[in-house]
Structure 1
Amino acid sequence: MNFALILFVLVVITGIAWVADKLVFARQRRSSAALALAEFDAQRQHRQAVSGPSDLDRSRAKLAEEKLRQPWWLEYSASFFPVILAVFVLRSFVVEPFKIPSGSMIPTLLIGDFILVNKYNYGIRLPVVNKKIMDIGEPQRGDVMVFRYPKDESLDYIKRVIGVPGDVVRYENKKLTINGKPAEYKQLPDYLDEERLAYSKHYLETLPGGVQHGILNDSDRPAFIAGADPDFPFRDNCTYNQLGLTCKVPEGHYFVMGDNRDNSLDSRYWGFVPDKNIVGRAFMIWMNLGNFGRVGSFK
């Protein structure tokens, strides 16, 4: 379901109703009310014979209210327009919420984390079509990025940016090297994955450039990449062997990986993320119903 498209359609429908009410329907109601009140006032002397002044005033006010009241369909559609428009603008150009559905970014992000994604860090994009209309910044190595899955753009994925355009990324023996510079690793206590009820090797990885984050490796999983798509775009930029792979990132594309390295389907398997698929940069956990202590920013 394309929620952005649904929200856009609602903005258009309620916006048309709001404008039509301001320019047409409200004038018609005011004109109708004026005529009805003029007729009421013309009969006021006759009415005073059977009703007191206070009753007449209440009847006049009630008549005016009835004539000026919006029909129910217009009341709901036009009154919701400012709210829907504000949500649409906020979600399209400022920040958008997502929920983490899988464990591919453990230990950084857990299943059930609700995150916020900055929509303007990587440029202003038109909603629905996701076309960039203004350059502001580009993804950097180490960013946690949300993007449309290249093989099915109806799905949103979240991974960490490892390689930017022009980078040569080598992942062999479960260690990263970028442009000939190896990442640094510090071993941490083993990590218990409560979803799988299994321990994984836990490391603090420092990418060339200084970005640090936690990663997981499973010692019983092989280093070679099994099941990679043989036909993704720019497949010739990658070389696979028994130790892993080496890829040169093409212009306008990014190489991404999950922090849960042996439990993540990412650029090692389905290829590069084109710039046109980028949604934004994840920067904050705003809620986790099972663990309120996780709320806050993350690296």
Structure 2
Amino acid sequence: MTKKKNDWADWIKTIIITALIIILLRMFIAVPIVVEGPSMYPTLADNERLIVDKLSLTFSDIKRFDIVVFHATAQRDYIKRVIGLPGDQIEYIDDQLYVNGQVVKESFLDQAKQTLGSNETYTTNFDLSHIPGNQQEVPDGHVFVLGDNRPNSTDSRHLGFIPMDQIVGVARFTYWPIGEIGFVD
């Protein structure tokens, strides 16, 4: 009878320890998310499943073109690409990104831009004075984000600057669907 009791106690301990490890992993290291909507297409598709790295935010700064998940509202998280960092002046003219007056290539948009007609643009012209907050540069402690599907994305052009403390983590790895397994670019 005591052997059965010990077996049950061992199982309960194992389940509790496993649950604690999973909780700690999700709180501090990585979290799975599901992409909802078309705003990051063609880089990420609706219903793709990703692993978001939370730990790297502790040891390194967010970089331009990182794909981040952030709290857009109390109930919703969004996934977008970082375009502007604190102090940056961002402007789009004739489908070209300018950061601090310098042309910056966005090779991740090349495929989408190939589908455009000769007089069409993928990203409409704007500068930071046109977005909520009416600033000339990205404020300290904030980033400017855009979806890769520029014609169909709710991003900083609508939401304004994103506080860095609202960023959950950086998308690192796609694990579903199986044909899309790999690192996120």
Of structures 1 and 2, the one scoring higher in RCO (CA 8 A, sep 6+) is 2
Q: Does 1:214 align with 2:109?
A: yes
Number of equivalent positions? 176
Structure 1 spans left out of the alignment, 5+ residues: 1-61, 124-135, 185-204, 206-211, 238-246
Letter in 2 for 1:271: G
Distance 1:278 1:79, change over 3 A: same
Q: CA deviation at 1:139?
A: 0.7
Percent identity over the alignment is 32
Aligned counterparts of 1:82 and 1:119: Cα–Cα separation in 2? 22
Match in the other structure for 1:181: 102
TM-score by length of 2: 0.82
Residue number among 244, 253, 259 corresponding to 2:142 in the alignment:
253
C-alpha distance in 2 between matches for 1:222 and 1:169: 13
Q: Deviations over 1:170-209 (max 9, x none)?
A: 123332110001123xxxxxxxxxxxxxxxxxxxx2xxxx
- Displacement of 1:80 in angstroms is 2.6
SS in 2 for 1:86: helix
Q: Tell me the CA shift for residue 255 of structure 1.
A: 0.2
Question: Residue 151 of structure 2 aligns to which amino acid in structure 1?
Answer: D
| Aligned match for 1:121, one of 46, 52, 56 | 56
Query: After superposition, where does 1:13-162 map in structure 2 within 5 Å?
Result: 62=1, 64=2, 68=5, 79-123=14-58, 136-149=59-72, 152-162=73-83
Where does the alignment leave 5 or more consecutive residues of structure 2 unmatched? none
- Deviations, residues 227-279 of structure 1 (Å, cap 9, x unaligned): xx98x5xx131xxxxxxxxx510000000000111110100111011011011
Pair 1:220–1:119, CA change in 2 (3 A): closer
Contact persistence 2:92–2:123 (CA under 8 A): no
Write the distance in 2 (CA, Å) between the matches of 1:220 and 1:281.
28
CA distance in 2, matches of 1:120, 1:220: 37
Q: Give me the TM-score of the superposition, normalised by structure 1.
A: 0.53
Q: Which amino acid aligns with 2:91?
A: R
Q: Does 1:285 align with 2:174?
A: yes
